[in-house]
Amino acid sequence: MPIEPIPTNDLVPTICVGGAPSSGTTLLADLLDSVPGLICGPELYVMCIEEAYRFDERFKPAAMAQRHFATRARYSADVAFFNRKYLGATGLTEPALHELIAASDSLPGFITRFARHFAGYRGVALSAFAEKTPINVNYVGEFCRTFTNGVFVHVVRDGRDVARSLTRRGYSLYEAAMIWMQQVLAGRRAAQSHGRVVEIKYEELVNDPFVTTVQMAAKVGLAAAPAAIEVCFNSNQYRAGLPRVASWSVPVFDGKTHPNNPLQVLSWKNLRWLESLQLVQFQQGQADPHVVADFASLLGEYGYGIDAQDQVSRIAPTHHENCYHEYLKKSSNLERHSGFALMMKPEKMTGWSRRQYESLKALVRGTTTESEDVSVS
């Protein structure tokens, strides 16, 4: 199929959403999809692959062949371009997807072609497109350079609530804290470097969802009234029908499910929270001694207060940037396609013995029922 470049002025304005997992990106996607003329599909994995931003003749055959690409999110497994799980939900077949890829000369061109198809499939008007995949936050620079008419939205949530949610999915408290720091720091650095990056806090989004959505839509030239968005939101059967992660979702708006409302988890922010994280850290006597202070420091920078009675908060903050890079350095020896260290199976680890794996697991997961109980009391 011949390549058919789309004129720059005809490319669809695009909003890219990312953040730490369980930070409210799904809620924002639901809200954006309820703005007349703005559509948002499921998590497609189209903006979280470095090679996709080149969209050259080496990338396109690999994308069609469902090759898995490494991501910068250390907790994430490698991903294929375009999440095939949602072919049916987007009205595509594998041959039709191949046609869209083959006809495109750039990622913005592919997104425009897909958005036109997707809007036609759903029978709605198209003025702008949004894509939400949490690990998009690791590719803000590529997005801003490639999508000249785009806006990136970084959603930030209190790291203690994120950690609570992730522990319910099987992560240890230490893993959850590291994931939150890695993803938030990636978005924070991008927001400081690029003028088309907007940071919003989940708590503010929940408190005033429709006004906040109006502000986001205005970034791509769309005007809408909060009341109109609310009506569309409460009748949005497409978004309501997409699968949700039940372990971190509770009803919030009119029969739909979204990440936990912070008002329901205030008991998680108790005086012993950081002390619990410190207990997990030092239980094996090996974990990074700076993680707790760095976690507390980053919480404070986003205005998430630490009670003065929490003794751990009095640790002098270290430079969490250094901690972050040390974490990446320690993670670089791991097979990235298998995901974050603790999600790996010994048989999938090249050059690692079971003893080394168990030692790593003890180092990072290093937690007992007693320490986990302390963390959620």
d(CA 64, CA 60): 6
Please state whether 38 falls in left (phi above 0), alpha (psi between -120 and 50) or beta. Answer: beta
> What's the token pair of residue 52?
């996709």
| Ordered per-residue pLDDT tens for the chain, 377 residues | 567 788 888 999 999 999 999 999 999 999 999 999 999 999 999 999 999 999 999 999 999 999 999 998 878 889 999 999 999 999 999 999 999 999 999 999 999 999 999 999 999 999 999 999 999 999 999 999 999 999 999 999 999 889 888 878 877 777 788 889 889 999 998 888 888 999 999 999 999 999 999 999 999 999 999 999 999 999 999 988 887 665 444 333 333 333 443 333 333 444 356 656 665 555 434 455 567 778 888 888 898 876 544 444 333 333 333 443 444 444 444 333 233 333 333 333 233 334 433 444 444 443 323 222 222 21
Per residue in 231-281, pLDDT (tens digit) is 999 999 998 888 766 544 433 333 333 344 333 333 344 435 665 666 555
> What's the token pair of residue 89?
């939900």
> What's the token pair of residue 195?
């003028």
Query: What φ, ψ does residue 197 adopt, rounded to 5°?
Result: -115, 130
| This prediction's pTM | 0.76
Enumerate the β-bridge partners of residue 156.
Answer: 201
Which helix (H) or strand (E) covers residue 132, if one does?
strand 128-132
Torsion from C-alpha of 319, 325, 329, 335, nearest 10 degrees: 130
